[in-house]
Structure 1
Amino acid sequence: MGNAHRHHLKHRFPLPQNTVPTPPHKYGTSHPPHNLPNQNQGGSNSNINMISLPYANADTTLRSLAAQAEGYGRFAIGGLHGSLYHVTSLLDDGPGSLREACRQKEPLWIVFEVSGTIHLSSYLSVSSYKTVDGRGQKIKLTGKGIKLKQCEHVIICNLEVEGGRGHDVDAIQIKPNSKHIWIDRCTLSDCEDGLIDITRGSTEITISRCHFHNHDKTILIGSDPSHVDDRCIKVTIHHCFFNGTRQRHPRVRFAKVHLYNNYSRNWGIYAVCASVESQIFSQHNIYEAGQKKVAFKYLHEKAADKDAEATGHIISEGDIFLNGAQPGLMTGNVGVKVFHPSEHYLAWTVETPTDDLKQVLQHCTGWQSVTRPADQTICAE
């Protein structure tokens, strides 16, 4: 992939005058990210060092994450203006525990001084203005999942969640009426229900750099046809790896969803499903089939305030389909209105889908062994 084409992609979405965009991250040889394939690991890596990925400065200081998400969750500040809370216990509750931190009403930036597994006996409810920051440690949540209920400005970063058990237990459940949420660099697998559910009027959400595996119903957006208030939902999903998960990458009702630079492989039923009134903009993603070849599926359902059934709509721009994968796009969509992301945000980092990007997404999604940055502000020059 030549530099000229990459330059064209980076700047294809214009910014207003006097606005200077943050340049996309380039994986250079002097400061490679953790686990990035190198010249000694075999394979074709000639262009990997030139791949442009987002969030170049997200790990510069501890709180550099705040308001740095691309897409709909870009305003999420988490606990930016709060105190630092140090988790010192792996117990489910009590002094120094994650649960004690998450229930506090004031803003907090939560970090970990221990590594290990926290077994949750009930959903971990996170209140507004919290950052749960797993950088610098390896924290796994099991037993139940994370619940974001009627909260705003929450960032969840660099955690593992697996083995959630019980009725309606998701790895991360976002409902109802939550907004300004960013889920970044999490590894999610093997829960009783979904891995991420976004329903009941929750909106302005970004899911980035996550690794989904060993699961059936992966991401649900929009609960059911009776909840017409879900028309407000807007979600961005980018640079994620759907690794053999069976379906719902995602499944969408009512919402507007922007998918870009994700890698979905070996799905069991379909990759992406559009249902009642949904609008999905699928841009420069990699869809690699296993036994099931059709990537996109459409389901017809009747909204509670309508007389007739309807499906959703998918726009596919620059996606690639590998190993016999077929888009399965619905025909007869002439004149159908589907949103364009530029109507909602000014810039995002999008790469041409190539084998090099696929390799990066396999290695650099999910929990990462990164050092926790220092908690200091960046001084203006």
Structure 2
Amino acid sequence: MSIVCTIFLFLLTASSAFASAFPKPAPVTHWSTSETSNSTTASCSATGNPIDDCWRCDKKWKSNRKSLADCAVGFGRDSVGGRAGDFYTVTDSGDEDPLNPSPGTLRYAATQDQPLWIIFDRDMVITLKEDIQVTSYKTIDGRGNNVQIAYGPCLALYQVSNVIIHNIYIHHCVPAKRSLGGYSDGDGISIFESRDVWIDHCTLEKCHDGLIDAVGGSTDITISNNYMLNHNEVMLLGHSDEFVGDRDMRVSIAFNYFGEGLVQRMPRCRHGFFHIVNNIYREWEMYAIGGSANPTIFSQGNVFIASDNQFTKEVTKRESVDGDDEWKEWNWKSEGDEMLNGAFFTPSGNEDSPSYTKMSSMVARPASLLKTTHPSVGVLSCQIDQPC
């Protein structure tokens, strides 16, 4: 069936009643073009989501694909992807020879030296033999088709910049040996020593390692409008406690839906600056937001709905060798978040620290507005000549 990720939130007075009334998105199991999509077919109006309001009401989105590059917000807002390049249409879902990829394949397009805006000529499931190491100035744009990368290694960004990944369903990613040596970890999207990256309106689930990991001094990243589900360690942001190169990492996590079957790391942060804004979290199994090595975390305008398990109500988790005396100095702040069904956020550090001003990457909407709007997340089923 189509991935229908439209989320209806109703304004109720009791938080427990609101939590039980909040519908879960349909599980992602298969696709069918005959079922209802989350395209807007009759009318389109502003939602308050600045990314979607920038482009989704354009009935000519297919002709104006590159206007998407003007719509990013947050720390990854300067990513232009392949805007300056030609369009490249993927016509072949195969991956027979990773060292000498065939023209027409995703690997061939994504590893070219020049900027490219990569689109697809039809629905396809791409099963890779090894991960694709996407080069700089690329956009991978799945709008208008059901494009899945699944059942093999998936995507890697290694020492690159200006990459946009949009409207791709990434799932069941596994580790594999690389032709030139080494192994991939089995991440959905792995980001290493890269910057100016934007991941938007993707659906990710059931990968071997992380759904999205960013390490090795990567920075200026926006992760937005994604639907994540059915996974243990969701996002790792920061290589290790000892790797101080991640002190300059800046990541915005905005308008995502952290759904059913997620356990932990939404995200797990080290060292850098993390603006977590206007996301919806539902029933994490261990914790939602965690970290070590003194990251600065600003949680703003999110909705946290805890499960009924009394032992998993806390949103936050710290890992500190020296215990409370150390982490109590870390700047972790919750501002305007809604805590439902007993959820709670443990703040620390200086609530008025100038670091929060430094890391405010975008304007947060009040969490209460999430009850009266109908945000959509994950892969969109865009129809030609209709608002997406």
- TM-score band by shorter chain is 0.7 to 0.9
Please say if 1:365 is aligned against 2:380: no
Structure-2 separation of matches of 1:168 and 1:138: 25
Change beyond 3 A, Cα 1:277–1:349: closer
**Contact 1:53–1:349 (CA under 8 A) maintained in structure 2:** no
Structure-1 separation of matches of 2:362 and 2:239: 29
Deviation at 1:165, TM superposition (A): 1.3
Structure-2 separation of matches of 1:251 and 1:69: 23
**Contact 1:295–1:327 (CA under 8 A) maintained in structure 2:** yes
Structure-1 separation of matches of 2:281 and 2:77: 24
Once the two structures are superposed, the pairs formed by residues 188-227 of structure 1 within 5 Å of their partners are 188-227=204-243
Deviation at 1:52, TM superposition (A): 1.6
Please say if 1:52 is aligned against 2:14: no
Deviation track 1:105-139 (CA, whole Å, cap 9, x = no partner) reads 00000011011210011111110000000111110
Q: Which of 89, 92, 106 lines up with 1:89 in the alignment?
A: 92
Change beyond 3 A, Cα 1:321–1:126: same
Q: Which of 138, 143, 147 lines up with 1:130 in the alignment?
A: 138
Q: Which of 174, 191, 197 lines up with 1:174 in the alignment?
A: 191
**Contact 1:87–1:112 (CA under 8 A) maintained in structure 2:** yes
User: Which residue in 2 is equivalent to 1:287?
Assistant: 304
Please say if 1:250 is aligned against 2:267: yes
Unaligned runs of 5+ in 2: 1-8, 10-36, 59-63, 96-100, 176-183
Change beyond 3 A, Cα 1:298–1:336: farther
Letter in 2 for 1:264: Y
TM-align CA RMSD: 2.7
Please say if 1:75 is aligned against 2:78: yes
Change beyond 3 A, Cα 1:335–1:101: closer
Deviation at 1:334, TM superposition (A): 4.2
Deviation at 1:329, TM superposition (A): 3.0
Please say if 1:313 is aligned against 2:338: no
Deviation track 1:289-348 (CA, whole Å, cap 9, x = no partner) reads 01211111111158xxxxx96574311000011111122334xx347736225x356753
Please say if 1:149 is aligned against 2:158: yes
**Contact 1:280–1:338 (CA under 8 A) maintained in structure 2:** no
Change beyond 3 A, Cα 1:266–1:347: closer
Structure-1 separation of matches of 2:115 and 2:229: 32
User: Which residue in 2 is equivalent to 1:34?
Assistant: 38
**Contact 1:72–1:206 (CA under 8 A) maintained in structure 2:** yes
Please say if 1:348 is aligned against 2:352: no
Change beyond 3 A, Cα 1:106–1:70: same
**Contact 2:155–2:189 (CA under 8 A) maintained in structure 1:** yes
Structure-2 separation of matches of 1:269 and 1:54: 31
**Contact 2:232–2:263 (CA under 8 A) maintained in structure 1:** yes
Change beyond 3 A, Cα 1:53–1:172: same
Q: Normalised by the size of structure 1, how large is the TM-score?
A: 0.78
Aligned length: 322
Change beyond 3 A, Cα 1:371–1:296: same
**Contact 2:275–2:360 (CA under 8 A) maintained in structure 1:** no
Percent identical across equivalent pairs? 34
Letter in 2 for 1:64: S
Deviation at 1:226, TM superposition (A): 1.6
Deviation track 1:246-272 (CA, whole Å, cap 9, x = no partner) reads 111111000100011100111011010
Tell me the SS of whatever aligns to 2:232. coil
Structure-1 separation of matches of 2:116 and 2:383: 20
User: Which residue in 2 is equivalent to 1:263?
Assistant: 280
Unaligned runs of 5+ in 1: 2-32, 39-47, 303-307, 375-381
**Contact 1:51–1:351 (CA under 8 A) maintained in structure 2:** no
Tell me the SS of whatever aligns to 1:339. helix
Change beyond 3 A, Cα 1:113–1:230: same
**Contact 1:281–1:339 (CA under 8 A) maintained in structure 2:** no
Letter in 2 for 1:313: N
Structure-1 separation of matches of 2:248 and 2:297: 14
Please say if 1:62 is aligned against 2:65: yes
**Contact 2:300–2:335 (CA under 8 A) maintained in structure 1:** yes
Change beyond 3 A, Cα 1:349–1:293: closer
